[in-house]
Amino acid sequence: MEKWARLESLVGEKSLEVLKNTKVLVLGLGGVGGYVVESLARSGIGSFILIDGDHIEKSNINRQIIALNSTIGLAKVDVFEKRIQDISEECIVQKKKVFITKDNIDLLFQEKVDYIVDACDTISVKKEIIRICTKRKIPFISCMGTGNKKDPLAFEIIDIRKTSVDPIARILRKMVKEEHIQGKVMVVSSREVSKKVCEGISSNSFVPAVAGLLCTSYIVNTILGKDHE
């Protein structure tokens, strides 16, 4: 198929078929998760479960790929469903317009998936994803903080145990150590020390985008047999 010709020439016909038969659940469709979905769809992933309870707001326009003047007020899962199928009409998209908490986290595990991407902002949910995925041996990757950062080159794909300055990673690292969690806990984390200019969480267009693309690179390369460690 002409659409996938350049990808197939890079990874081969068999690998392309593997990607088409892969199902990925993405939790959180913001600045990071949006670029995960976009790049996975353009990498030939054949099935998605998208989970986000948000609607697009004006404040999203500076960094979220689906945020446009024409999409303000629309549900993120709906906009992404349409966008994915505009990229790859054969792609299967399931969507859940819901906010995930510790109380309803079982919604993430109702069916078998090949990968889970944690691109949410809630630390308690991130903790539960680590606990459940490591216990059930479900492949996953979690993104740490991207707010108040300027340097996309400071991001790396790394086990949570080897992270350093990121405050979210620090909390999760402590939990993993105290609970003696076994197995890989792969994350995308920055070595940059945040320097706030004003109150609130600051952001730009390229930092969360790079974090999302790193998540996708880990998933695709791992599925195709290339380990980042």
Per the structure, the complete domain to which residue 197 belongs is given by 2-223
Q: Tell whether 228 is covered by a domain.
A: no
In a domain, 93, yes or no: yes
Residue 29, in any domain of the structure: yes
Q: What is the pLDDT of residues 132-148, one digit of tens each?
A: 999 999 999 999 999 98
In-domain check, residue 229 = no
CATH code where residue 34 lies: 3.40.50.720
pLDDT at residue 229 is higher than 80: no
Q: Give a yes or no: residue 126 inside a domain.
A: yes
Judge whether residue 201 has pLDDT over 90: no
Kindly report the pTM of this predicted structure: 0.95
- pLDDT for the residue 203: 87
Pairing state of beta strands 186-190 and 155-159?
antiparallel
User: What average pLDDT is seen over the chain?
Assistant: 95
Question: Is 33 a domain residue?
Answer: yes
Q: Name the more confident of 198 and 155.
A: 155
pLDDT cut 70: percent of the chain above it: 96
16 lies in some domain: yes
User: pLDDT grade, residue 194 (50/70/90)?
Assistant: confident
Number of domains comprising the chain: 1
Within a domain: 86? yes
CA distance 139 to 188: 14
pLDDT of residue 162: 97
23-58 confidence digits (pLDDT tens):
999 999 999 999 999 999 999 999 999 999 999 999
Q: How many whole angstroms separate alpha carbon 121 and alpha carbon 168?
A: 10
